[in-house]
Amino acid sequence: MRHHEIFSLLITQCIALLVFMGTAHGDQNSDQVSFERPVFVENGIATWYGGRHAGLKTASGEYFNVHKLTAAHRTLPFGTVVRVTDLKSGRAVVVRINDRGPNAKVKSRAVLDLSESAADVLAMRERGVCRVRIEAFASDQNGS
C-alpha cells in the first residue's frame, strides 16, 4: 500500500470509530458526555473514627452516626461531598464532610478522618490508616 492509501484507510477507521462512539450511547449527543475535573484534590493519610464518638455532636452541629458515610476534614466546608479513593486498593467511597479533624495532636499526618462505615467501604478498619486521594466535584455539591 502507498502512503496516501494507508492515510486514507486510517482516516476512514477514525471516522467509523467516532460514529460508533456517538451511537453507542443511544440518544445522547457527544457534547453531553464530558469529563469533569475535580475542583479540589488532596492526597494524604486517612484514618477513621467510630464507636466512642457515636451520638456526640460534630463540629457542624449534627450528631455523629457511625453508619453514615461522613468524614472530618480540617478546612473543607461542612456539607462538601468528596470522593475518597484508597491509592493502594483502588476502592472508593463518597462521603460528606460534617466534622473537623483529624485531631492534629493524635493524627498529625492524617488529612481525613472517615466514619466507621466509610472505613468499611474502603476495607481499612483493621489497618487503621490508608493513603488516599480526596476529590470534590462541582456536580456533587448541593445546588448543582
Domains of the chain, by residue range, sit at: 3-32, 40-140
Q: What is the dihedral of CA 110, 112, 117, 120, to 10 degrees?
A: -50
Q: Residue 38, preceding bond cis, omega within 30 degrees?
A: no
**pLDDT for position 6:** 54
In this prediction, residue 26 carries a pLDDT of 46
Per-residue pLDDT at 23:
42
Lookup result for grid cell 475535580: 38
Residue 28 is predicted with a pLDDT of 47
pLDDT at residue 103 in the model: 77
Q: What is the pLDDT of residue 122?
A: 97
What pLDDT score was predicted for residue 5? 56
pLDDT digits (tens, 9 = 90+) for 93-103: 999 999 999 97
Report CA dihedral (133, 138, 140, 144) to the nearest 10 degrees: 170
The 3-state DSSP composition of the chain as helix, strand, coil percent (nearest 5) reads 25, 30, 45
Q: What is the pLDDT of residue 90?
A: 96
Q: Is the pTM of this model over 0.75?
A: no
Q: Which residues of the chain have pLDDT under 70?
A: 1-34, 104-107, 143-144
CATH of 40-140, one of 3.40.140.10, 3.30.390.10, 3.40.50.300, 2.40.40.10: 2.40.40.10
